[in-house]
Amino acid sequence: MSPDYRRQDELSTQDTDVFPAYSDDHEPFRSRQQPARKRQWVGRYALTGLAALVVGSVIVVGGLAAGGYFTKSADEGKSALTTTAKPPTTTSAKAAPLSPPAAGAPLSTVMAWVRAGAPADMAKFHTATAKSGTVSDLGSAVAFVSPSEKIRCMTSASAKGGQGLTCMAELDSPPPRPAKAKQGNWAGGWIEFPGPTLGIGSVRGDPGQFTLGDGATLPYGSRLTFDDYDCRMDETGLFCINNTAGSAIQLSSAGAVPFGCLGKVEPKDNGLAFSCNTFDATATSTPSSTSTADHAAVGSSCDSADAGSFGTAKNGKELLCSEGSDRRGYRWTDPGPLASGTNEDGEVCDRDGEKYGKSADGSAVICRQTGSSTWRWQSTS
């Protein structure tokens, strides 16, 4: 056996060599309290992890905050746009009352409201249709009915004649027959409105021009312009102006309301009667019967030589001397607002604006339709 070899039972007597590598790497490691060192490293790792967690939290929270900030800003921007945005607006060329004029309103107010209606196609209102279906051409006459069919109107140029605008209305309380009325069939809803006068209720042996039937329906909010009249249909009734006479009426199932120069008079053949001859809606004092231009009064007579000229009422209102639609003489009438500047014969005019104007020599001109759609100033004399 090798001198360096010993049996196992002799190990206790053998010399033991201590190898430095073993001593340095193992036994001394235990003697340096490795667990404490481990805790130090773990603590460091824990602190590092906590710091990373805090930093991450800050980043996350910051990110969320930033996200919330920008989201809020975007929402606020949307809100600002929503609250500051203005709804679409419509423009109107001329201001007019929004509501129908009440009883006692000035004629100028009635005129402004009526003329603010939407113009209807006149070509649809020159025929009348009977119950049998027969259609009659009325020529230049005009016929129309209300959407409720409680008001039917027709002008006098129809085959059966008449005076100015005639209407038949279903009245809740038609006027009774007057004691002096002639014998015959009493029609309490018969209305005659030539302009200077208004008659409600009449003795009628037949339906006059209405034997031809009825005209087309005039929709609510629509306006017709014909002869000396402007008429607008409304849910509160029919409003019609006679521009030459300076008068107007409202027709509804409740009855007739007069405007302008119309004043109540003693009826003869009508249940109720109104006239411009005895009432001046524009004068500030007692109406004058004089026909001189400097003391004109609405409804008072004027000389034929003054036809087409202007006069002045006592309150300073300019009036026009013209022949009434009843062709019974010349009277001072309220022409309404006059067009500005001078307006000569033949010049194009705007019928939706002022109807009357003055030429360079001071005479009156009227805006009339001369073609299918062209309006021009024409002399009234």
Task: Judge if pTM exceeds 0.75.
Answer: no
Distance CA 100, CA 261 (A): 19
Do 240 and 165 contact (CB within 8 A), yes or no? yes
Tokens of 52: 């990373």
**Can you tell me the distance from the alpha carbon of 311 to that of 296, in angstroms, rounded to the nearest whole number?**
6
What span, in angstroms and rounded, lies between the C-alpha atoms of 222 and 202?
A: 29
Per-residue model confidence as pLDDT tens for the chain (381 residues): 444 544 444 444 445 454 454 444 444 444 444 444 444 444 454 445 544 544 444 444 444 444 443 344 444 444 444 444 544 444 444 455 678 999 989 998 999 999 999 999 999 999 999 999 999 999 989 999 999 999 999 997 544 444 689 999 999 999 998 887 777 788 999 999 999 999 999 988 777 888 899 999 999 999 999 988 999 999 999 999 998 888 999 999 999 999 999 999 988 889 999 998 754 444 333 333 333 455 567 777 787 777 888 887 766 678 888 876 656 678 888 887 788 778 888 888 876 667 888 887 778 888 887 766 677 888 876
Closest CA to 308 of 219, 379, 241: 379
Q: What is the DSSP string of 267-300?
A: -SSSSEEEESTT--SS-SSSPP----GGGB-TT-
Give residue 203's identity as a one-letter amino acid code.
V
For 28, the 3-state DSSP assignment is helix
Does residue 279 contact residue 262 with C-beta atoms inside 8 Å?
Answer: yes
How far is Cα 352 from Cα 9, in angstroms, rounded to an integer? Answer: 138
Summarised one tens digit per residue, pLDDT across range 297-334 is 777 778 777 788 888 776 667 888 887 665 667 888 88
Cα separation, 272 vs 265, whole angstroms = 8
Residue 13 DSSP class: G
